[in-house]
Amino acid sequence: MKTIMYSVKGFEESYLLEANNHCHELTLTNKPLTIDTASLASGHEAIAIFTNDDASAPVLKKLKGLGVNYITTRSVGTDHIDLELAKTLDITIGNVPSYSPYSVAEHAITLMLGLNRKLILADKKSHAYQFELSSLIGFDMHQKTVGIIGFGTIGSVVADILHGFGCHVLVYDIVEDKAHAKKHHFTYVTLDELYAQADIISLNLPLTPQTKHLINKESIAKMKKGVMLINTSRGPIIDTHALMDGLRSGQIGSAGLDVYEFEKGIFFKNHYASEAKDELLLNLMNFDNVIITGHQAFLTKEALTNIAEKTIQNLSDWENPICEDCNAKIGKHLPLAAIHP
């Protein structure tokens, strides 16, 4: 299938080409998908995009006019795609439902430990040949209460790791599985109960209209004073202005963020020499009790391999779809949803 892949980073190119193994005719570009770059898709049946690409209504309409019928995103989340319009336009959408959950889960734990033991400050002090310890006091993770909001595959791994530390794990999810709770040694609670009891809160849920700004002024006020907040899911789940206020007041004791509410156009690029920088992000970085990484939680060899392989598999499935009932190939270029209406 002739496909153009947008926003291809240098570190993922080899993984995509190896997974493809000359199966599909690929064009790779580091340019993001926008209304202006959509024209690059002319003559292609499919495109592959990344989480910060723009697949909004105007872009989808332009892509459809250029003959694009398939879009696969190299991410779990699809919040950057207008799914309703894609359905109306008969554009088939694919994603990467899961990849190595350990990549994101372990990064969340890394942020917790880095904040707790003040590793960034300790590193700065040691490089300045300052070895006085009074500003570096942390706490034992053992016996602390950690609240996990969103308990999918990644949340489960976070819980397993924390259980190994001897933490008490509380979970909030819209779907409860009691057997799962027993297996992973945690307790389901309401959001308010989680806010009130958790020493650390980890966000591991998708961005939806319901979860946008889930962490806001009101929810922060319900949290335990001095709580540590970790976000490795999606930036807009946290109201950044409310987060800043919580950090200033001490209601939030520390924050570890792999994502940022307004990261689009900022993350995944080198802006070192640029004079125009995001003031809100700069202010957030000025807090010694905040660690920010540039949406890198997924960045392991295993996860990159999983993402590349599933992306190519999506293209192959669309090119030669298989009937799930009879296990027979049914022809090329037929949307899977149309096999058995």
Q: Give the active site residues.
A: 234, 263, 295
The residues with which 231 forms a beta bridge, in sequence order, are 203, 257
* Pairing verdict, β 3-5 and 227-231: unpaired
In sequence order, the 6+-apart residues with CB closer than 8 A to the CB of 294 are 258, 263, 267, 268
- Residues 2 and 43 sit within 8 Å (Cβ to Cβ): yes
Burial bucket for residue 312 (CB in 10 Å: 0-12, 13-18, 19+): buried
Phi, psi of 254 (to 5 degrees): -165, 160
Of 259, 308, 249, the closest CA to residue 281 belongs to 259
Distance CA 276, CA 60 (A): 30
Query: And the tokens for 340?
Result: 């058995």
Residues in the chain: 341
